[in-house]
Chain A
Amino acid sequence: MVEFFAERFNYAVVIILMMTGLYVVFSSSNLVKKLVGLSVFQTSVFLLYISVGKVAGGRPPIVEPPHHGEGEAVTGAAAATAEAGHGAETEALVGAEPSHGAEAAHGADAAHGLAPTAPAPAPAGFGGDIPAPDHMTPDGVLDAVYSNPLPHVLILTAIVVGVATLAVGLALVVRIRETYGGIEEDELHQGDLGAERA
């Protein structure tokens, strides 16, 4: 039971943070503070998403080419050959399975499989003349554990869009201040009542 909650500790704290932001949005009568609460709520949602994408022992999803030193030494002709090899290998991955036969299919399976750490036996399709892509081991699997890049991309977009909507909200607050003379909710109500009476 303790372990169960220890494994989900992050999510629990992030939920409390989210609810704090929600409480500020609902409870405060000041419009700027309401937007601050919205911003806190939003940041907490980002934290939740990124928590889900974290892989224990993982690295940031920047796949560095491990054979960099070798790559420098390759001559132009050899590099061209390597490019051709890349093309052929991609074709095998995408699925020219009937023509390449069982070996290519096996290779595709190994590349698609999970377990970045578990080494698969090198299939014949990847042997010798066709080099594996830079970030993969010759076995066709990733050579390190990376965190999931997909939540990062989505949240990156969300941060920027969030700032854009915050800017519009703040501009509205400034206009409300110019029209009503205040940004507290009760002042706005009184302004509305005065406008109705007039």
Chain B
Amino acid sequence: MTLDPLQILDVAFLAMLLVIAFAIVRLNNLFAVVMLTGVYSLVSAVWLLVLDAVDVSFTEAAVGAGVSTVLMLGAMLLTAREAKPVSASRRLGPLAVSIAAGAALFYALPDLPPYGAADTPANSYVGLEYLERTGTDTHIPNVVTAVLASYRGFDTFGETVVIFAAGLGVMLLLGLNGRKKKEDSK
């Protein structure tokens, strides 16, 4: 087995993600938990870079690690700083469900193609077609941009509609122009 530097990076980043995820489970200080979520997003963004997904990587770094963390920090400041520790008896049910779901996924693991194989069904048909045609169809060098904005333009339009709806929902939930005084605060 040859040691590819990318393979070493791959294992290192996965180990970091595991450590961060377990730290998120253990900690009850919400500030630490939220910041660790940002770190988790950032490390996964770097890992995506190793996997050749450059566009996803910088979107995850900007949106996942940046915007989400800011949103969660804001919500945390408006609500609570500490989470109550969960009693041991209340942990058993969730643990059983997670282990059962994980076991089912591990049972399906052999059906997945080997990592990095080029001739899998997922990598054979549509993706390859996009790679071959983008140059002549759209003259955009970045295939991801071409598919996102040109081939699947309507899908991206739908995505912006979803974001608009979400923004509208947040504004309606939190009040449009400043908070109204609560009745019970008088």
To the question of whether A and B form a pair in one complex, the answer is yes
- Chain A residues close to B by CB (< 8 Å): 4, 6-24, 26-33, 35-37, 39-40, 43, 46-47, 50-65, 86, 89-90, 93, 111-112, 114, 116, 133-136, 142, 145-153, 155-157, 159-168, 170-175, 177-178, 182-184, 186
Contact (Cβ within 8 A) A62 B122:
no
Is B177 an interface residue, CB under 8 A from the partner?
no
Count B-side interface residues using an 8 Å CB cutoff.
100
Q: How far is the CA of A33 from the CA of B11 in the complex (A)?
A: 27
Contact (Cβ within 8 A) B97 A149:
no
Contact status of A152 and B130, CB under 8 A, knowing A163-B67, A171-B174: no
Contact (Cβ within 8 A) A173 B174:
no
Residues on the A chain within 8 Å of B25, using CB: 20, 23-24, 27
Is B9 an interface residue, CB under 8 A from the partner?
no
Partner of B136, one of A47, A133, A164: A133
Q: How far is the CA of A110 from the CA of B122 in the complex (A)?
A: 20
Contact (Cβ within 8 A) B163 A172:
no
Partner of A27, one of B80, B91, B130: B91
Residues on the B chain within 8 Å of A177, using CB: 78-80
Contact (Cβ within 8 A) B109 A15:
yes
Contact (Cβ within 8 A) A24 B24:
yes
Q: How far is the CA of A153 from the CA of B96 in the complex (A)?
A: 35
Question: Which residue of chain A lies nearest to B156 when distances are taken between CB atoms in the complex?
Answer: A157
Contact status of A29 and B173, CB under 8 A, knowing A149-B127, A156-B56, A164-B162: no
